[in-house]
A = this chain, B = another copy of it.
Amino acid sequence: MDNFNFYSPTEFVFGKDRENDCGKYVKKYGGTKVLVHYGSGSVVKSGLLDRVKASLKAEGIAFVELGGVKPNPRDVLVYEGIDLCKKEGVDFIVAVGGGSTIDSSKAIAAGVKYDGDFRDFYCGKAAIAAALPVATVLTIAAAGSEGSESSVITKEEGMVKRGTGSDLIRPKFSIMNPALTCTLPAYQTACGATDIMAHVFGRYFTNAEEVEITDRLCEAGLTTMVGETPRVVADPDNYEARANIMWAGTVAHNGVVGVGRSQDWNSHGIEHELSGLYDCAHGAGLAVIMPCWMEYVCSHNVMRFAQMANRVFGVAMNFENPEETARKGIKAFRSFLKSIGMPINFTELGAKEEDIPVLVKNFVAAKGENTGGFVNLTPSDVTEIYKIAAHATV
């Protein structure tokens, strides 16, 4: 096991109606003047925003509001948020929404305490040295930002997406009411579930040996997602299944299932160019790419894929031919994704095979000629993976 630090200080406040306690937790963590940051109309229409504001009022906490966060949150709104916080003397930010709203809030929190351009944190020019405290009221199980130290912001000019991270922008508390996710469309739910599984797989495929505890914790997350996702797709109001998925989403990305080992985020990066070029959902792009990446790198460590097949997808181990088991597991994963309504090839996603050279060029621009991870990928490897993705079938 590699040496590691694990630090996840966020207080998770989980369950029915917990958003009504938001004001109490803001008070507990010292907020006196809050920016309530949110995205689209759904948090307004559902009444969630009103409940959060009522809970602040009940505690006598002043607040200002800033809505309008878009998926792939933009820098222009971050600047607006920073100005608003400075003008209003805000000392605490509550993000009401999903990963985009939370990431935008984290950027504002760091920007308020910085004299330069907040984008310095997102291009490696500066490290976050101070930030306003941030908290979240989560509305979708997917990104894991409610328990993470990271934030990704898109520069509107040129749509360049860049990330940063610091323990200073970890949420102080995150309110997670699974019932808030029951109104999500099945497609968005399945995209979130795919993203959660991708966060676990990013940690599962490692070259570290004998890290059984994190292997098993990864498999716990994955088997939960395999079992629970079809339940919410079939029955969106299934609170128990929603709850299992929501907590799995946090566990998948707060670091606990990835300690002590190298990781691999190449399929995330390969997907990124798809959602960049076609503006598709990140989870949908991952559904297309992940099984193809697995097929392409399977021979690097057949037994690891056989372990996944057996422990996660219940494929019987073929002791005479472990590779058959391994490849059956990857097929089972793709079939699972298809069954929850995800696309599995370029056509279903709305991507075009003739764009592959552009996709590869963009990937190389972002990640370089030789990416690290479970398997190093050259541009020709990435090309091959996109080609498999163009025509994949179950």
Q: Which residues of chain A have a CB within 8 Å of any CB of chain B?
A: 1-16, 18, 178, 209-214, 216-217, 219-221, 223-224, 227-228, 239-241, 243-244, 247-248, 251, 256, 259-260
Contact = CB atoms under 8 A, between A and B. Distances in A.
Contacts of A220: 213, 216-217, 219-220
A14 B9 contact: no
Nearest to A311: B223
Contacts of A219: 216, 220
Given A211-B244, A213-B228, 19 more contacts: A1-B15, A1-B244, A4-B14, A4-B15, A6-B11, A7-B11, A8-B8, A14-B260, A15-B260, A211-B243, A212-B228, A213-B224, A213-B247, A213-B248, A213-B251, A216-B220, A217-B251, A220-B220, A256-B256
Copies in the complex: 2
A216 B213 CA distance: 12
A240 B210 CA distance: 6
Contacts of A5: 11-14
Contacts of A9: 7-9, 11
Contacts of A251: 213, 217, 256
A259 B241 CA distance: 15
Nearest to A147: B6
A244 B213 contact: yes
Contact of A223 (B210, B216, B224): B216
